[in-house]
Copies of this chain bind each other. A is one copy, B any other.
Amino acid sequence: MSERTRITRKPDRGTDDPAALNSLLDDARVAHVAFVRHGYPVVLPMAFGRDGNRLYLHGSTGAGAFLAARSGLEVSVAVTHLDGLVFARSTFDSSMNYRSAVVFGHATPVPDNRKEAALRAVTEHLMPGRWDEVRPPSAKELAATTVLELPLDEVSVKVRATGPGEAPDGGEDHTAWAGVVPLRTVAGTPERSALTDSAVPLPGSVRSLL
């Protein structure tokens, strides 16, 4: 734990359990990557994947200047999973159940000889099973792709996973309901592209989401 990953607010929500970090990363689909450009902060959503202790980031938006930094760029990456809404009998004690990781470090471009493996990790994170269902990336596609990597060394993980807490003397209305409404992300009906003949069956990667 470094000075900047020390949790100062509600430290009881912090955890050093690597399983908590990995489970959160497995369940979330988007990372938010912050960096400093011309002295001001920028944050962008990116796809990500994980391989052991490495976080892979795959740019999707406005990442030009970002990805140009071949020598590494200091970043902070947040991955957050909202698990539920916490209804207390006061707005003050209302909350959210969530798991969140904040990573600090230098993101560097994945070298060419590991780029395909990194892309595989990102693809399999978002669409488990998909990599083996379609053709591999061509040399031209690989050359046109940048993936960044960041070691998961300096990480702060916070988890809130309980019902509402209330101060004992809050004067709450005891006729008000208190509890948790869990939230989860679900897949809807797959929408076949006109690229695909209607006789093509749903692949395993799609069926596993349903």
Q: Is A186 engaged at the interface, CB distance under 8 Å to the other chain?
A: yes
* A28 to B, closest residue via Cβ: B82
Q: How far is the CA of A79 from the CA of B65 in the complex (A)?
A: 21
Please name all residues of chain B whose beta carbon is closer than 8 Å to the beta carbon of A131 when the two chains form the complex: 91
Q: Is A50 engaged at the interface, CB distance under 8 Å to the other chain?
A: no
B193 touching A182, Cβ below 8 Å: no
Question: Which one of B76, B91, B134 lies within 8 Å of A134 (CB-CB)?
Answer: B91
Please name all residues of chain B whose beta carbon is closer than 8 Å to the beta carbon of A63 when the two chains form the complex: 9
Number of interface residues of A (CB under 8 A): 107
A179 touching B191, Cβ below 8 Å: yes
* A194 to B, closest residue via Cβ: B163
Please name all residues of chain B whose beta carbon is closer than 8 Å to the beta carbon of A76 when the two chains form the complex: 34, 40-43
A185 touching B182, Cβ below 8 Å: no
A-B contact pairs, 12 of them (CB 8 A): A30-B80, A40-B104, A43-B102, A44-B78, A44-B102, A45-B100, A88-B195, A91-B120, A133-B176, A163-B195, A175-B200, A184-B186
